[in-house]
Structure 1
């Protein structure tokens, strides 16, 4: 993640893009944003509730969705956002698609309601072609503007101790129940 950015994988490399080798890799890509095809995906961040701003970036030979950052719910009107025009260079973290939706919420493309960053479905709903099977979480941009980039949370939950305690507790309860049932049987 902190390494110098490498070029984002092009179409020839897409079959080999995997979670193990590519997730959170620092990449860069250049192209032009298609702001008219921006998708807002519900998000909860350290800044509160709002939306991720996913905008297609047309590069040489392919399109990639760029998560330009976060906007609060009350600032979802794009009139107040930065809208880079012309050729731009984006650096950020490569992220794999998030198909389906969120917990108990499915993406609803006909209603333009998005709960996860499902690259294939968003691309289909926006009429995009030659879209990379990943998206890029943009690095932080200039201070004070929207959307706010650089909010990728890279914290992997380590619940192993909780799992171990749960299973050992269940095993102890089973042992206690077996002893109780066996004692009752003897009476």
Structure 2
């Protein structure tokens, strides 16, 4: 049977469309495979980070970094490092920053401590619940000599809980060291704070040792999702290729 020109044109357009879909499914398969491999790399990095942090929080405490080391303090090598410092708590107001913990909502209590080495560190003494935030509810430390052991934490600038810190109103949603130091008139303050451990602040209020060390690790789930999409795309490509071959054989 003779094929008319309109029929031949329609077949060419249909074949071209199938080839475009075939190329697209092959491209999707490659892209999804690449994303899956990237998630595997991210998972390896995350597991290494978790292992390093676990080693830090259980290691013997080292001296808290002094001014000569501040410029080199960063998250990669210092976050959650167990440190110790000796000094005297300053006679200055404590700063309460919003917290959500396993014990419910409340506040972290930050107090400035002047170390014997001559610099000031904000010490997160621990947690107080929302209904017991008053200074009369917790042990007074102003002017007290103390040895603090805890975890080094980096400053949290700006705010948290989707809200911005408001120093003038005394509303703090994150532990922004620089902003707190400025609001309290503190000088030579370390660019980090220290979460006191339960031995340093046994409670009942504030309760130390409540640092939540957790890392979201869903990279394997994402990797499997991308690999499944890659397999589906590859399957669609094979289906289109076989269909195109069968049509070419029939038409030939």
Q: Give 1 or 2: higher strand fraction.
A: 1
TM-score, normalised relative to structure 2:
0.65
CA contact (8 A) 2:158 2:176 kept: yes
1:136 matched to 2:194? The reply is: yes
Alpha-carbon distance in 1 for matches of 2:91, 2:137: 13
* 1:127 aligns to 2:211 (yes or no): no
Distance in 2 (CA, whole Å) between partners of 1:172 and 1:117 is 46
- The one of 111, 126, 142 equivalent to 1:69 is 126
Structure 1: 5+ residue runs without aligned partners? 179-187
SS at match of 1:36: coil
CA contact (8 A) 1:42 1:116 kept: yes
Question: Within 1, Cα distance between the matches of 2:61 and 2:114?
Answer: 19
Q: 2:8 matched to which residue of 1?
A: none
Q: Compute the TM-score of the two structures, normalised by the length of structure 1.
A: 0.86
- Whether 1:21 aligns to 2:21 is no
Structure number having the greater helix percentage: 2
Matches within 5 A, 1:51-62: 51-59=107-115, 60-62=117-119
Offset, 1:63: 0.4
Q: Secondary structure at the match of 1:124?
A: helix
**Other-structure match for 1:78:** 135
Q: What's the counterpart of residue 64 of structure 2? A: 8
Q: Distance in 1 between matches of 2:167 and 2:218?
A: 34
Higher relative contact order (CA 8 A, sep 6+): 2
Task: Return 154-163 or 37-46, whichever deviates more.
Answer: 154-163
CA RMSD, 1 decimal: 2.6
Give the number of equivalent residue pairs.
184
Q: Which residue of 2 aligns with 1:183?
A: none
